[in-house]
Structure 1
Amino acid sequence: MLRVVRVSGPAVLVVAAFAALLIALAIGGGAAPQLLEDPGPVVRFGLPITSTLVNISAAGMIGAIGLVVFAIPPSSPAWGRALDVAAASAGLFTVAAAMTGFFSYLSVTARALSFDDAFSQGLGQFLTQIELGQAWLQTTLLGAVVTVLCFAVRNHTALVFVGLVAVVCLVPMAQQGHAAGVDGHDAAITALGLHLVFAAAWLGGLVVIVLLSRQLSTAVLVDVVARYSTVAIVCFVVVAASGYVSAELRVGSLDRLLTPYGILVLVKVGALLALGLIGALHRRYVIGKLGTTERRRHFWWLVVAELGFMGIATGFAAALARTATPVPQEVPETQTAAQILTGEKLPPELTVSNFLTQWNFDLIWVLVCAFAIFFYVAGVLRLRRRGDRWPWYRTVLWIAGILLLFYVTNGGLNVYEKFLFSAHMFGHMTLSMMVPLLLVPAAPVTLVLRAVKKRGDGSRGVREWVLLAVHSKVATVIANPVVAGVLFATSLVTFYYTPLFRWATENHFGHEWMIVHFLIVGYLFVQALIGVDPVPYKLPYPFRLLLLLGTMAFHAFFGLALMEGTGLLLADWFGATGRDWGPSALQDQQNGGGIAWSIGEIPTFTLALIVAIQWSRVDKKETKRRDRNADRTNEAELGEYNAMLERLAEKDTAR
C-alpha cells in the first residue's frame, strides 16, 4: 500500500497540475498566439510549464525544510532523507527558475533562439538591467544557494536560517505580481508573497510525508501528521485570505467572475474548498486513529485525493499568471504625484473623522494580529481546562495591545504615514512604546512555556524553539537592559539619518521590516524595565529608573532636533507627494518632532510609575519575609547582630 501511495501520490499531483494547466490555458487564452511579435508555441507553453515546475519544486524545498525544523525527530531516518528531498527540490527549483527567466526573455522580446553575440548581449541586459529579468536571476541564484546549504548544513538550529533563505527565494517572484504604480501595488505583492509561501509549505509538507512514508514508523507518522495538520490549518487560512485579496484586486466585482480569469479563479476556489474539507476529515476522523490498518488506508487515499486537488490548484494558479485580468494591470498614462511615489491615491485631508475612519489594510498584520489573539486565548483556555490559573488582566492587556497594533498597521496611521511625516512618527512612537507597554505585562513567553506541551522525541515545536531563543547567546546580549536601552535610543538616529529611512519609505518590504524593528526594539526595552517573562539578567530597580530617564532624555533630544531643524528628510518624497492640504512638508516634519518629544512622555511616565510600584511591592515582600523569619526564629538574626555589636564594644573597652 505504501509503495503504491509513494508512486501514485506525486504522480497524481504532477499529472493533475499539468492537465489543469493546459485546460486553464485553453480557457483563459494564456497560451494563445499573440497578434504582434508572437514568440512561438514553445515559449507560449514553455513559460507556464516552467512556472509550474518552479511552484512545485519550491513546495518540496520549503515543505521538506519545514518538516525537518518543526515535525520530524532528528533520530528518525526520515530526518536526513527529508534534507535530501529539500536539496533535490532546491536543485530543480534553480533549474526551473533559470528556464523561466530564459523563456521570459524570449516572451518579452519575441526573439528567436540563436547563438550570436546580439542574442547573448540582449539576454545579459535583460537579466541585469530589466526588473523582470533581475527577479528571475535573483531567484535562480538564491535557489542555488539553498541547494548547496541543504547538502552542507545538518545543524538543527542553522536549518531555520536555511529555511528563511528558501522563503526569500520567493520574494522576487512576489514583487512581479502587480505593476508598480497601479493602485493596490503593496497589497497585491503582500497577498501574492503570502500565497506563494504558505501554499508551498502546505503542498510541500504533504508531498514530503508521502515520499518519506517508508522511513516513518507508525508512532512517528502519527506525530508528524498531527504536527503537519496544525500547520496546514494555518496555511489554509492564509492561502484563502491572500487568494481573496488577489482576486479582489484583479477581478474587481462579482459580475466579472464570468470572464475567463474569473472562471479560473472560481475553479481554484473550488479546489481550495475541497482541500479544506479533506483537511477537516483528516483531523476529525483519521489522524487520531492512524494506528489501525483500516484508518491508515483511508488516510493514504485521502492524501492522494488531496494531492490531486493541490495539483489542480497549482496548474490553475500558473495559468492565472498568464491570463488577462478584468482589472487592467497597466500603469495609467496620467498619474498624480502621489500615485507615482506611493502607488496609492492621495487620501482626503487629515481630520479627526478621516483619521478614525480611513483604512488601508495590510494583510500580513491582519493575519498576525488575528493569529496572535487566537493562539493567546487558546493557550489561556488550555490552562484553565487543566485547572491552572492565569491572571485575567494579562489577557485583557494582550488583546488591547494586539488591537492597537492592528490599528497602527491598518488604520488611519497606515493611510497617512506615506504622506505626512508626523503620522509616520506617531506610528513609530505607538509601535515602539505604547504597544509594548501593553504586550510585555501579558507575559506571552511564560504562557507558551506553561500551555504548550513539551516534546519528548527530540523534535522542536513552538515551546522548544521559544526556550532555545530565550536562552540563546543572541538573546542574552540583546535582552541585557543596557543593550536594550542603547538599541532603543540609537535606533532613532540610525534609522532616520541613514538610507534605512528611504528604503523603509520607498520599498514595501522595507516598510514591513521597519514595523518589525520598531516593535522588537520597543518590546526589548519595555521588557528590561517591567517584564514578567524570564530573562538572563534583570537590573535593580534604581538602575531601571536611571536607564529609563537616560534613554528618554536621548529621545527628547532627538525630538527637539527635528522641531528646530530646517532641512527636510526625504525631500523628494514628503515634499513631492502633491499634497495640497495640511501644513507644509517642513512644518509637518517639525510637528513630527513635537510628537516624538511630547507624546513619548506619556508611556515614559507610565513606565516610571510601574517600575516604582514594582519596586515598592518587592520592598514590601522583602520586609514581610524578614518579619516572618524574625517571628519564626524569635528574632535570632537581630540577636546575633546585637551580640556582634557587644563583642566589638568589649574589644574596644579592653584596649
Structure 2
Amino acid sequence: MVSNHSFDHGAGMSGASASWTSWDLFIGGLIFAFLILLYMVAARVSNRNYRTWPVYRYLCWVAGMLCVGLPLIGPLARLAPANFTIHMLGHLLLGMLGPLLIAFSTPMTLLLRSTPLLFARRIARLLKSKPAQIVAHPAVAALLNIGGLWVLYTTGLFMDMHHSLLLHIVVHFHVFAAGYIFTVSMIYVDVAPHRHSFQARAIILVIAIAGHGILSKYIYAHPPDGVPSEQAKLGGMLMYYGGDAIELILVFWLCMQWYKSARPRPAASILQALD
C-alpha cells in the first residue's frame, strides 16, 4: 500500500536535488575539510598553554564530521531522495550519532581554551545567558529534538522539503542542531553552565526514547506522504533499532556519571576531611 502521493524514485527530491551542482558539493566538501582542519589548529593552540588534547577527541570530531557530511553532501545525500530507508540512515547519522561524537570531542571546551581571553569571556557570557539556559534545558531540548521529528514525519513537511532547497537545508540543520543540543543537555561532557539533576535528566531521557520509539512504529504503520509502504517499514525498523543502539550509549554514559557522583568517598579521604 502506497500513501496518497507517490514517491518519485530517482527524482524524489526534484526541486531540491536539481539545485545541487557539482560545484555546490565541492564547496560543501571544502567546508567540512576546513572544520576538521580548524579543530586541529585549535587543539595545537590549546596545547601551548594546557594539557595535551586527547587523541580520542580528534577522532570523535573527524568521525562526527563524517557522520554529518555523508547525509548532506556524500553518497547518502544522492541516494536518500529515492529511498526512504537510506534517508532514515541519514537521519541516524545526522541527528543522533554525529551529534554524539561531536559532543565527545568537546568543541566548546576547545573553543574557550584556544581563543583570546576577551573572546572566550564573551562566549562564556553567551552560554550563561537566559536564552541559552532555556534552549539547553533538557525538557526543551527533548521537545525540539523528538517533537521536530514528529512534525517532519507526520505532516506534509517531509514532502515539501523535497521540493525546496531552502526548506531542505533548514530541516537538516534543525535535525542536527536539535540532536546536538539534546545530547549535551543529557550528558555533561562539555561546557555546561546550567546543570540539572540526574533524576530530571533520566526521566526526560526515558520519555524522549519512548517518543522516538513510538514515532518509528508510527512510521512503520503510517508511511509519510509519498513513501511506499515497504520502504516505510524498513525505515521505521532502522529508526527503531538504530536509534536504540545510539540511545543506549546516552543511557550508559548518564548512568556512569550518576554512579561516579554518588559512590562513597574512600575512607582515607573521609578521615582527611575530618582532620
- The bucket for the TM-score relative to the shorter chain is 0.7 to 0.9
Deviation, 1:387, is: 5.0
Q: Report the Cα distance in structure 2 between the residues aligned to 1:550 and 1:183, rounded to whole angstroms.
A: 34
Residues in 1 aligned to 2:164 and 2:143: alpha-carbon distance in whole angstroms: 27
1:364-408 deviation line (CA, Å, top 9, x unaligned) = 542332122111111110122335332222222111111222223
Contact 2:16 2:162 in 1 (8 A): no
Shift of 1:421: 1.5
Output aligned runs, 1:482-497, within 5 Å.
482-497=139-154
- Please give the TM-score of this superposition, normalised by the length of structure 1: 0.38
Q: CA RMSD in A?
A: 2.5
Residue in 1 aligned with 2:265? 623
- Secondary structure at 1:623's aligned position in 2? coil
Q: Give the aligned partner of residue 8 of structure 2.
A: none
Over the matched positions of the two proteins, sequence identity in percent amounts to: 24
Which structure 2 segments of 5+ residues have no match?
1-13
Q: Tell me the residue number matched to 1:75.
A: none
Distance 1:487 1:370 in 2: 29
Q: TM-score, normalised by structure 2?
A: 0.85
Query: What residue identity is the alignment partner of 2:252?
Result: L
User: One-letter code of the match for 2:191?
Assistant: P
Aligned to 1:467: 124
Distance, in Å, in 2 between the alignment partners of 1:370 and 1:396 is: 14
Given the alignment, which residue of 186, 189, 211 partners 2:19? Answer: 186
Q: CA deviation at 1:629?
A: 4.0
CA distance in 2, matches of 1:527, 1:184: 32
Which SS does the other structure have where 1:616 is aligned?
Answer: helix
Report the Cα offset of residue 564 of structure 1. 1.8
Distance 2:28 2:189 in 1: 25
Query: Can you list the C-alpha shifts for 1:207-246, whole angstroms capped at 9, x where unaligned?
Result: xxxxxxxxxxxxxxxxxxxxxxxxxxxxxxxxxxxxxx55
Contact 2:95 / 2:179 at 8 angstroms: preserved in 1?
A: yes
Find the counterpart in structure 2 of residue 410 from structure 1: 73
Q: Which has the higher contact order (CA 8 A, sep 6+)?
A: 2
The Cα of 1:605 is off from its aligned counterpart by 1.0
Kept after mapping to 2: 8 A contact 1:373/1:402: yes
Query: Larger Rg: 1 or 2?
Result: 1
Alpha-carbon contact 1:187-1:363 (below 8 Å) kept: no
Q: What amino acid does structure 2 have at the position aligned with 1:628?
A: S
**Helix, strand or coil: the match of 2:48?**
helix
Given candidates 173, 190, 206, the residue that maps to 1:533 is 190
- The 3 A distance-change label for structure 1 pair 447 and 420 is same
Supply the distance in 2 between the matched residues of 1:513 and 1:468 (Cα, whole angstroms).
27
Secondary structure at 1:488 match in 2: helix
Q: Which amino acid aligns with 1:376?
A: Y
Q: Is the 8 A contact 1:559 1:593 kept in 2?
A: yes
Residue 633 of structure 1 pairs with residue 274 of structure 2: yes
Which of these residues, 161, 167, 172, is aligned with residue 510 of structure 1? 167
Corresponding residue for 1:481? 138
Structure 1 unmatched ranges of 5 or more: 1-180, 189-244, 247-360, 456-460, 575-584, 635-655
What code does the residue aligned with 2:25 have? D
Q: Given residue 211 of structure 2, which amino acid in structure 1 is its aligned partner?
A: F
2:177 to 497, 504, 520: 520
Tell me: CA distance 1:623–1:632, structure 2 relative to 1, closer, same or farther (3 Å). closer
1:260 is matched with: none
Alpha-carbon distance between aligned partners in 2 of 1:528 and 1:403, rounded to the nearest angstrom: 23
Aligned ranges 1:266-345 → 2 under 5 Å? none
Distance 1:417 1:484 in 2: 26
* Cα pair distance change 1:368/1:619, threshold 3 Å: farther
The structure 1 residue matched to 2:111, chosen from 448, 451, 454, is 448
Sort the Cα spacing of 1:464 and 1:617 in 2 relative to 1 into closer, same or farther, 3 A.
same
- Aligned residue for 1:384? 47
- DSSP-derived class of the 2:64 partner: helix
CA offsets 1:410-442 (integer angstroms, 9 cap, x no match): 333212111112211221122111111101121
State the 1:452 CA deviation: 0.5
Among 605, 611, 626, the alignment partner of 2:254 is 611
Partner residue, 2:234: 591
For residues 558 and 538 of structure 1, what CA distance do their matches in structure 2 show?
A: 29
Return closer, same or farther for 1:481/1:381 CA change in 2, 3 Å cut-off: same
User: Which residue identity is paired with 2:68?
Assistant: L
Q: Distance in 2 between matches of 1:521 and 1:363?
A: 26
The 1:183–1:630 alpha-carbon spacing in structure 2 relative to 1, beyond 3 Å, is closer
Q: CA deviation at 1:632?
A: 4.1
The DSSP-based 3-state class of the residue aligned with 1:186 is coil
